[in-house]
Amino acid sequence: MSGRAQRQRAIRRLRAEGHYGPALREVLPALAAVVVTLCGVVAGLAIGYRVAGIGVPLGALVLLAVAAPAAVRRHRPLARRRLGFYTAEELAELDTQGLALAVSRMLRRDGWRVLPPRRTEDGVRVRLRARDGRGHRLVVAFRPVAEPLPDEDAPSRSGRPGGSGPPLRLVVHRGAFSRRDVQWARRQGGVRLIDGSCLRRWAHGTPLNELGDFS
């Protein structure tokens, strides 16, 4: 394989893990739109000044002073969510795909490298796969029942969640797990249940490794 092909392959892998920015051709349209918008605003202010005097620029500055804080407040929750912090109300409004995105952001916040969410063969359930700096692997499932479905293999009792052993399985549920679910997870080994209470603590900023035994 040539050096260029290896570099492109490495870039694709880093982008899939969320560690490589977009290409220039992907951001160029947005940059061009920003430049055109700024030029239009400056041209409009210049024309307004010539036609109506200093009142137009001053009015624009007042409008900007009023609108800017409102825009910052409006977009602050979006920036917070992108960093992996969610409120309980925001978690409650998410569908399964949105919850998978939220969990992937929280994992990245805690130092995990996360692959994009992927649906299972039935096209209904969503899974995440992640790895931390120590080589520990993690598989995240999203459903209210912890017991495996017919097409899933229960995790092995042997081996560790890192290295060559089986990955740690995380089952995320916004509600409460039943006693049967908890007993099943204990019997299997290598399974951790994240119920609604743990999920809210995690989303608020508590690191994953402080929610239970994830080492």
Mean pLDDT of 14-42: 66
Per-residue confidence (pLDDT) for residue 198, from 0 to 100:
93
**Assigned token pair, 123:** 């096209």
Chain mean pLDDT for the chain: 76
pLDDT digit string (tens) for 150-186?
445 544 444 444 445 678 889 898 888 888 888 888 8
pTM of the model: 0.59
**Assigned token pair, 117:** 């969410």
Q: Please tell me the distance from the alpha carbon of residue 179 to that of residue 195, in angstroms, as a whole number.
A: 12
Question: What angle do helix axes 55-82 and 24-52 make, rounded to 10 degrees?
Answer: 160
Max CA distance (Å), the chain:
80
Contact 196, 88 (CB under 8 A): no
pLDDT digit string (tens) for 156-165?
444 444 445 6
Candidate ranges 2-16, 67-81, 150-164, 173-187; pick with highest mean pLDDT: 173-187
Q: Which residue has the tokens 């560690």?
A: 19
